[in-house]
């Protein structure tokens, strides 16, 4: 499925560029032997391009379509962070209070841990310790139950002194959100992000797309199926590429957070000694804001992005704030590279 180009910012030439966009996506899928992927692009006028490629489930012959549900993996994080910031704007959640104010079940540590620190990965909470955690099949009944994974841990470092990306840290952030709002995380996300952004397909749980890994010759093989109930706020959401674009556009256009909040979220955070939070990826230093990764590309353009990967899944979301354009790709194979084709597509249309 392709949608007609009816875009103001993308311009009349976008209709001609559609063929190039499709070719880039098809080439990436074929070269990487990805069973199925979906791509969406939009701007202030809405979704201008949405198409699926290949198969969401090769065994059942289920095609990948724009409506097919794929895993978001870590692209869940900026969605959760945005909901947290909306709670903070209303005074429901204090970003700088110790999390025990909202999560009394989390023990006090030698130093305070705050929601702000958790949102930008400087709180000292660990990530997955091993494959047993990374590939967990345990079903957790609630978000608060996942606290047992980190409740007894020592912090990796004094909060604010180092940067270390962690999905478990987002579990603690979301527990604070639940405690502050007095309702479950998915209800918070529905009210604060999904509904105002028009993300009708986004949810937690299992996707429609089957997951695949790579065999010895690179051919896709069924991937280990992970139960993401242990990481919903930081890696357990799923939905469509179009919903990710709708989220990014709603964020950019001020339909989710106030301008000053948006600025804060898109400002690279720093540790106490002034070191910018983030790391080098794909040849760029990507700084971490409050929920987003930020950098300037080879053309000097500001880029707001987030990527995710987990067993049998890859997702990538780009927002180009200077042009108001967003693009997202989701795929059902890991390893796979969606970053390079998305950058090529954005270079083609902008």
pTM of the full predicted structure?
Answer: 0.96
Under 8 Å between Cβ of 248 and 239: no
Mean pLDDT of the chain: 95
pLDDT above 70: residue 79: yes
Round to whole Å and give the CA distance between 122 and 164.
6
pLDDT above 60: residue 7: no
User: pLDDT tier at 9 (50, 70, 90 boundaries)?
Assistant: low
> What are the CA-CA distances from residue 154 to residues 63, 107, 114, 191, 283 (Å)?
46, 10, 16, 34, 33
What are the tens digits of pLDDT across the range 179-211? Answer: 999 999 999 999 999 999 999 999 999 999 999
Question: Residues near 153 by Cβ (< 8 Å), separated by ≥ 6?
Answer: 125, 126
Question: 143, 109, 140: which is closest to 126 by C-alpha?
Answer: 109
Average pLDDT over residues 151-176: 98
According to DSSP, the β-strands at 220-222 and 325-331 are: unpaired
User: pLDDT tier at 16 (50, 70, 90 boundaries)?
Assistant: confident
Long-range contacts of residues 216-223, Cβ cutoff 8 Å, at least 24 apart: 218/33, 219/33, 220/33, 220/34, 220/35, 220/58, 220/333, 222/59, 222/312, 223/311, 223/312, 223/313, 223/333, 223/334
Round to whole Å and give the CA distance between 258 and 55.
40
Length of the chain: 350
* Residue 298, both tokens: 């080879």
Average pLDDT over residues 282-289: 93
User: pLDDT tier at 10 (50, 70, 90 boundaries)?
Assistant: low
Task: Give the CA diameter of the chain.
Answer: 59
Residue 16 CB: number of other CB atoms within 10 A?
Answer: 10
Residue with tokens 């608060």: 144
Under 8 Å between Cβ of 315 and 338: yes
What are the tens digits of pLDDT across the range 299-320? Answer: 999 999 999 999 999 999 999 9
Q: In terms of DSSP H, where are the helices of the chain?
A: 14-32, 76-89, 115-119, 131-134, 167-181, 185-189, 195-197, 232-235, 241-252, 259-265, 339-349
What is the per-residue pLDDT for 109? Answer: 98
Q: Is 160 left (phi over 0), alpha (psi -120 to 50) or beta?
A: left
Under 8 Å between Cβ of 63 and 83: no
Average pLDDT over residues 267-285: 95
pLDDT above 60: residue 88: yes
Q: At what angle do helices 167-181 and 76-89 cross, to 10 degrees?
A: 30
What is the per-residue pLDDT for 15? Answer: 73
Greater model confidence, 282 or 71:
71
Question: 285, 233, 292: which is closest to 257 by C-alpha?
Answer: 292
The domains located in the chain, with CATH, are 14-74+199-349 (3.40.710.10), 80-185 (no CATH)
> What are the CA-CA distances from residue 123 to residues 87, 151, 322 (Å)?
20, 14, 31
pLDDT above 70: residue 129: yes
Question: Residues near 45 by Cβ (< 8 Å), separated by ≥ 6?
Answer: 6, 7, 8, 9, 10
What order of strands is seen across the sheet that includes strand 46-57? 62-63, 46-57, 36-43, 325-331, 313-320, 302-310, 293-296, 284-288, 278-281
Average pLDDT over residues 46-57: 96
Under 8 Å between Cβ of 203 and 267: no
pLDDT above 50: residue 227: yes
What are the tens digits of pLDDT across the range 316-338? Answer: 999 999 999 999 999 999 999 99
User: pLDDT tier at 11 (50, 70, 90 boundaries)?
Assistant: low
Beta-bridge partner residues of 302: 296
């Amino acid at each position: 499925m392709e949608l007609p180009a009816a875009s103001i910012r993308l311009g009349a030439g976008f209709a001609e560029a559609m063929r190039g966009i499709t070719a880039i996506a098809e080439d990436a899928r074929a070269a990487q032997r990805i069973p199925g992927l979906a791509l969406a692009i939009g701007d202030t006028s809405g979704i201008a391009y949405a198409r699926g490629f290949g198969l969401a489930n090769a065994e059942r012959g289920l095609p990948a379509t724009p409506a097919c549900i794929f895993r978001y993996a870590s692209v869940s994080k900026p969605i959760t962070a945005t909901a947290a910031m909306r709670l903070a704007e209303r005074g429901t959640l204090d970003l700088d209070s110790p999390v025990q104010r909202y999560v009394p079940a989390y023990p006090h540590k030698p130093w305070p841990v705050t929601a702000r620190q958790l949102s930008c990965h400087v709180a000292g909470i660990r990530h997955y310790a091993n494959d047993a955690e990374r590939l967990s099949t345990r079903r957790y009944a609630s978000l608060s139950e996942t606290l047992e994974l980190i409740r007894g841990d020592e912090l990796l470092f004094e909060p604010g002194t180092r940067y270390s990306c962690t999905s478990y840290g987002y579990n603690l952030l979301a527990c604070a959100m639940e405690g502050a709002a007095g309702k479950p995380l998915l209800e918070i996300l529905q009210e604060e992000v999904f509904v105002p952004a028009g993300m009708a397909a986004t949810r937690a749980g299992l996707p429609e797309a089957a997951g695949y890994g790579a065999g010895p010759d690179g051919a896709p093989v069924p991937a280990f199926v992970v139960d993401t109930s242990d990481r919903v706020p930081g890696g357990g959401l799923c939905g469509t590429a179009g919903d990710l674009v709708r989220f990014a556009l709603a964020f950019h256009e001020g339909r989710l957070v106030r301008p000053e909040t948006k600025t804060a979220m898109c400002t690279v955070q720093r540790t106490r000694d002034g070191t910018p939070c983030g790391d080098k990826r794909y040849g760029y230093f990507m700084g971490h804001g409050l929920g987003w990764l930020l950098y300037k590309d080879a053309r000097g353009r500001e880029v707001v992005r987030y990527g995710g990967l987990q067993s049998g899944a890859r997702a990538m979301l780009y927002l180009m704030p200077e042009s108001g354009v967003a693009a997202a790709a989701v795929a059902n194979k890991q390893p796979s590279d969606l970053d390079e084709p998305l950058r090529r597509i954005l270079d083609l249309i902008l």
